[in-house]
Amino acid sequence: MFHKEGYPSIALATLVLILCIWLGMSIESTFLGSLPIIAGVFIWIIILQFFRNPERNTPKSEKGILAPSDGTVVKIEPFTDHEYFGEPRTLISIFMSPLNVHVTRYPFNGKILYSQYHHGKYLVAWHPKSSTHNERTTVVIEHPSGKPILYRQIAGALARRIVNYAKVGDTVKAGEDAGFIKFGSRIDVIIPNDAKINVSLDQKVKGGETIIAELL
């Protein structure tokens, strides 16, 4: 299964593959003719794996906060978000490499309270200022407990397009498709300080499956 945001890129990659095969077959030398074919197949496979959208077994948890994306936990630290909360909270950052699934998924059932896109730079995703200087979207969802939780899609050095489906007032379900970030970046999740953290640094997580924290 592939994400709908990838259809144009997959179509273009398929066209490139066809052209590479045609070019390779038109070259008399077997060795030289194989080069464009190999390159075309490589590009096609990379595009297909990048836009894959596997089904996930989303666990039911009244207090849980799921990872919004696949990736590696790179930060767990105190953080003051001045865009929405304006008070100290806890930040969990998940870095996505180009090899990860890049679908963004809603981390729990709830109602969208805030959804905002911000133009910005394209610093590497692990740069300390990327969460406030890079192109990004900020989404706040009211947890069933009544507490608001924020997640932020952040573009990286390679990412050049963030897709966010969250609209204020929408009611969403845990694990559902919330958007997509093309070609690498990171997701920040900002939770209350008293939440129980279930992950550790360098841990691999799966979007829509791994419970990264639980509200008390």
3-state secondary structure 30-91: HHHHHHHHHHHHHHHHHHHHHCECCCCCCCCCCCEEECCCCEEEEEEEEEECCCCCCCEEEE
> Which residue in 69, 97, 185, 200 is the catalytic one?
185
Neighbours of 40 (CB within 10 A): 22
Kindly report the length of the chain. 216
Q: Kindly tell me the burial class for residue 6, based on how many C-beta atoms sit within 10 Å of its own C-beta (0-12, 13-18, 19 or more).
A: buried
How far, in Å, CA of 141 to CA of 185, rounded? 21
Element (H, E) at 151: strand 148-155
**DSSP letter (8 states) at residue 120:** -
Q: Is 185 a catalytic residue?
A: yes
Contacts of 74 (CB under 8 A, 6+ apart): 93, 94, 95, 126, 186, 201, 202
- Catalytic residues, by residue number, are 185
